[in-house]
Structure 1
Amino acid sequence: MSRNGLYSLVAVLALAVIGFAIYTYQQQQSQPGLEVRIDQQGVSIDGNG
């Protein structure tokens, strides 16, 4: 494999990792955070969704 081919392979792999990281971050941000607690004081609901 020539150096240009190796550089191309490394660049494609780096772009794939960056793309996956961005996708994962966006998926986590789009999920509404909702927390429901039931204890001695009753029912408590906290969330941003």
Structure 2
Amino acid sequence: MLASRNLLIALVVILVAGLAATGYALYQEKKQPEGVEISVGKNGLSIKEK
């Protein structure tokens, strides 16, 4: 019974860590620096203000 309780606790910890990592990754992706974006593509030079 102690082993099954430890396994359940380990699974919960892994799940919470995975959710935290996913949330942090989404936060970093959404948070973009403000300013000017300059890109060079097949249509030439592109400048966009953020």
Distance change (3 Å), C-alpha of 1:6 and 1:36: same
Identity within the alignment, % = 22
Q: RMSD value over aligned CA atoms?
A: 2.3
- Greater relative contact order, per chain length (Cα 8 Å cut-off, separation 6+): 1
- Post-superposition CA distance 1:24-47 (Å, at most 9, x none): 0000110137542452xxx53124
Unaligned runs of 5+ in 1: none
Using structure 2 for the length normalisation, give the TM-score.
Answer: 0.67
2:30 corresponds in structure 1 to: 29
Unaligned runs of 5+ in 2: none
